[in-house]
């Protein structure tokens, strides 16, 4: 082999080496280089920095969310307190309104009762006025000789619904009061209706007043024979009770009208006022 041939061969080898170096590196060679020490450290630092940034952002957002949640809780708490205060205020106002309404209803009912009482009293006065006028006219006719004395009530007696009534102004025991009425051709009053009861109450005043009812000899009886069982009654609650604890001996056998208008049985010897009653066509002067 000549020297020239060897030189040519050498040049061919160098050219092949140069072309070989110009070829691109295979893909796996880049990852291999990336995983080398310095490159791996830089990648790790970058990822760590990115993770740190993400965590900071998340932390910041979480802090804002916590602040907003706290503000919402405080707002809700204030709203709840305010609502409860308003509800309580409305409840108090409602209670005041309810009490005022009840008070007005009570006042209205009381005024209605007073008006009814005044109306009843007025009617009674009007009726009594008419009766007194009729009695006065009757007495005038008797004095002039134009009328019958039996058609009029005696002087100082009150004409009401066909009967004549006399109201005492002093007190006597029940037997003496009945004897007084008999001497006037009358008897102790026999209460036959609620209207007659109101008439007697109006004229007797706020005092205990004997009536013609007693049970000394057995059951309760009216002095004129009116049937007690089927007739009008106005006993007070739990009366008659025939009480023996009064210390006056015996029970309670005579009836009287109390201050409030109810009936009560009592000892016949008590000195109460009384009312005599007579039929208008059977009365005489007292």
Distance between CA 233 and CA 29 in Å, rounded?
130
Domain 158-279: CATH class, spelled out: alpha beta
pLDDT at 141 over 90: no
Nearest to residue 42, comparing CAs of 33, 219, 263, 206?
Answer: 33
Q: 171-177, long-range: CB within 8 Å, 24+ apart, which pairs?
A: 171/271, 171/272, 171/273, 172/210, 172/271, 172/272, 172/274, 173/268, 173/269, 173/270, 173/271, 174/210, 174/214, 174/254, 174/256, 174/268, 174/269, 174/270, 174/272, 174/274, 175/268, 177/210, 177/272, 177/274
More confident position, 64 or 147: 64
The dihedral through the CA atoms of 209, 215, 220, 226 has a sign that is: negative
**Across residues 250-266, what is the average pLDDT?**
93
Residue recorded with tokens 């708490």? 77
pLDDT confidence tier of residue 9, bands split at 50, 70 and 90? low
- Determine how β-strand 273-279 pairs with β-strand 263-266: unpaired
| Predicted pLDDT of residue 271 | 95
Q: Which two tokens stand for residue 245?
A: 């604890």
Which segment of 51-60, 81-90, 195-204, 233-242 scores lowest on mean pLDDT? 51-60
Q: What is the mean pLDDT of residues 265-282?
A: 89
Q: In the structure, what pLDDT confidence band is assigned to residue 157 with cuts at 50, 70 and 90?
A: very high
pLDDT tens per residue, range 40-64 = 778 788 888 888 888 888 878 878 8
Domain residue ranges of the chain, discontinuous segments joined by +: 46-149, 158-279
272 compared with 107, residue with greater pLDDT: 272
Which has the higher per-residue pLDDT, 198 or 11?
Answer: 198
43 in Cβ contact with 33 (< 8 Å):
no
Please, which pLDDT band fits residue 283 given cuts at 50, 70 and 90? very low
**Is the pLDDT assigned to residue 169 strictly greater than 90?**
yes
Q: Model confidence over 173-197: pLDDT tens digits?
A: 999 999 999 999 999 999 999 999 9
What does the alpha-carbon distance between residue 80 and residue 86 come to, in Å, rounded to a whole number? Answer: 10
Residue from 207, 139, 183 nearest 276 by CA = 183
- The answer to whether 256 and 284 are in contact (CB under 8 A) is no
């Amino acid at each position: 082999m000549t020297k020239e041939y060897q030189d040519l061969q050498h040049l061919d080898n160098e050219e092949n080496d140069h072309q070989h170096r110009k070829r691109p590196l295979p893909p796996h060679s880049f990852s291999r280089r990336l995983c080398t020490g310095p490159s791996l450290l830089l990648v790790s630092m970058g990822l760590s920095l990115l993770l740190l940034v993400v965590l900071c952002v998340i932390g910041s957002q979480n802090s804002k969310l916590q602040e907003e949640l706290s503000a919402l809780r405080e707002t809700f708490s204030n709203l709840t307190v305010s609502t409860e205060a308003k509800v309580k205020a409305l409840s108090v106002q409602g209670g005041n309104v309810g009490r005022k309404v009840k008070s007005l209803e009570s006042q209205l009912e009381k005024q209605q009762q007073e008006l009814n009482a005044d109306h009843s009293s007025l009617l009674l006065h009007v009726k009594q006025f008419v009766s007194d006028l009729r009695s006065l006219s009757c007495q005038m006719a008797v004095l002039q000789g134009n009328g019958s004395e039996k058609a009029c009530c005696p002087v100082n007696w009150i004409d009401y619904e066909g009967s004549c009534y006399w109201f005492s102004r002093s007190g006597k025991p029940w037997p003496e009061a009945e004897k007084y009425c008999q001497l006037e051709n009358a008897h102790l009053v026999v209460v036959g209706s609620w209207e007659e009861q109101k008439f007697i109450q109006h004229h007797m005043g706020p005092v205990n007043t004997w009536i013609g009812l007693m049970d000394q000899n057995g059951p309760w009886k009216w002095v004129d024979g009116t049937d007690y069982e089927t007739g009008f009654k106005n006993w007070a609650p739990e009366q008659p009770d025939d009480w023996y604890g009064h210390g006056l001996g015996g029970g309670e056998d005579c009836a009287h009208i109390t201050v409030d208008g109810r009936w009560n049985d009592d000892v016949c010897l008590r000195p109460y006022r009384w009312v005599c009653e007579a039929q208008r066509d059977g009365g005489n002067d007292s």
